[in-house]
């Protein structure tokens, strides 16, 4: 008898389907402002010069392709944790930390979700809105997904009052997902003062801070973007951090990330390690090799590390300039409407304020592609398409 006839047909992923539709669009003026990957001023993918140099060094070493341990490359994790926490704080925290290499940030989130569901809590709260894949990952991990107020669509600002009130009503022991910087999809982050207001509320309610840090270096700087996580660690929170090297190293297809767990007591680390490694073993068994070698080669080399930081700063500066240019172009074309709220947003993404009907019109009438929630990948803008995008946005609002 047929086993597969009664399967439910699920919809395509709303983000990953955008490049497919974009590629099939024959219009030469089309613009892709959808998937969150950095693009050059020419609209092309960027492979960093520091990455190319690291790959040359790797090839020259004639290394083998043997399996990594389940938890990955220990030297890579050491450098990654220093980047996350800073060298001095990392040294202090090291006895309380477990870390494992993962298949990108998504892999880290899934492994953490399964770890939570089996051992800690089945309740997790996400910001409203959040990255669309967060909900899917955690539901498939076995967690019950709730939400908390985050973005005020009227003022276009972070809703500190709504989030604070929600935290105080969450069941103790729940998991609180937080984005460390460059919030996806809104581009709106709490200030460090607001993070400091949230920290004691989280601790008083006995919640587990669960940070997703996918864009370190794309907001203000490497250190500034990690400041909320470092502050929570200094305040004595037990917490979990998922980290991605996709954006800040441009290693999207290499799937390089890590999962880190900070515990009160060093005696808990072997138990945490056993649980996480068993989860990984039953999932993908061992992490990939090449991308980790690239990151490690760059971070351990003073010369390559300095070059990478300059390249990262250049990417960040171009995004900032494109955001400013978009606001200026919109203001020129629509004098009665205030778009200055876009200037308060950081990182790859901006919430444009466009609704699903308007984004659909942009796709159909103008060949401009973005998710239905109006999230713009600012790096998809350049001097060639900026005026067209601004004119098109005005035409639908």
Residues labelled as active-site residues = 131, 212, 247
Residue 94, classified by CB atoms within 10 Å of its CB into exposed (0-12), middle (13-18) or buried (19+), is middle
- In degrees and rounded to multiples of 5, residue 178 shows phi and psi of -130, 140
Q: What single-letter DSSP state applies at residue 10?
A: P
Distance CA 223, CA 118 (A): 34
Give the span between the Cα atoms of 213 and 257, in whole angstroms. Answer: 10
Burial class (CB in 10 A: 0-12, 13-18, 19+), 326: buried
First-to-last C-alpha distance (Å) of the chain: 54
Tokens representing residue 378 in the block:
């600012």
Element (H, E) at 266: none
Contacts of 239 (CB under 8 A, 6+ apart): 208, 209, 210, 211, 229, 232, 233, 261, 262
- 247's enclosing H/E stretch is none
Whole-angstrom distance, CA of residue 367 vs CA of residue 345: 25
Which residues share a beta bridge with 210? 177, 240
């Amino acid at each position: 008898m047929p086993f597969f006839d009664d399967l439910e047909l699920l919809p395509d992923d709303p983000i990953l389907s955008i490049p497919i539709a974009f590629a099939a669009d024959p219009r030469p003026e089309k613009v892709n402002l959808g998937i969150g990957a950095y693009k050059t001023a020419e609209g092309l993918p960027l492979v960093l010069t520091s990455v190319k140099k690291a790959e040359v060094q790797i090839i020259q070493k004639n290394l083998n392709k043997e399996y990594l341990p389940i938890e990955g490359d220990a030297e890579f994790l050491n450098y990654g944790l220093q980047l996350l926490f800073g060298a001095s704080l990392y040294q202090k925290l090291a006895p309380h930390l477990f870390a494992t290499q993962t298949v990108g940030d998504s892999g880290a989130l899934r492994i953490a979700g399964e770890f939570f569901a089996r051992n800690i809590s089945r309740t997790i709260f996400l910001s409203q809105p959040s990255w669309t894949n967060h909900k899917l990952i955690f539901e498939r991990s076995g967690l019950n997904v709730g939400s908390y107020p985050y973005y005020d669509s009227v003022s276009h600002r972070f809703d500190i009052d709504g989030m604070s009130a929600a935290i105080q009503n969450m069941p103790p022991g729940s998991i609180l997902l937080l984005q460390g910087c460059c919030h996806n999809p809104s581009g709106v982050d709490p200030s460090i003062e607001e993070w400091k207001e949230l920290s004691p509320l989280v601790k008083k309610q006995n919640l587990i801070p669960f940070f997703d840090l996918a864009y370190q270096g794309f907001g203000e700087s490497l250190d500034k973007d990690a400041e909320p996580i470092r502050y929570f660690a200094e305040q004595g929170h037990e917490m979990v951090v998922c980290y991605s090297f996709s954006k800040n190293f441009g290693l999207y297809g290499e799937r390089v990330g890590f999962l880190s767990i900070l515990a009160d007591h060093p005696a808990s680390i072997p138990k945490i390690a056993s649980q996480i490694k068993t989860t990984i073993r039953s999932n993908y068994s061992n992490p990939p090799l090449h991308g980790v070698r690239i990151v490690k080669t760059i971070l351990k080399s003073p010369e390559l590390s300095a070059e990478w930081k300059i390249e990262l700063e250049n990417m960040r500066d171009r995004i900032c300039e494109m955001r400013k240019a978009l606001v200026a172009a919109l203001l020129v074309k629509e004098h009665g409407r205030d778009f200055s709220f876009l200037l308060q947003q950081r990182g790859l993404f901006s919430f444009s304020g466009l609704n699903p009907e308007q984004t659909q019109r942009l796709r159909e009438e103008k060949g401009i592609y973005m998710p239905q929630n109006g999230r713009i990948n600012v790096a998809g803008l350049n001097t060639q398409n900026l005026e067209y995008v601004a004119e098109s946005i005005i035409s639908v609002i």
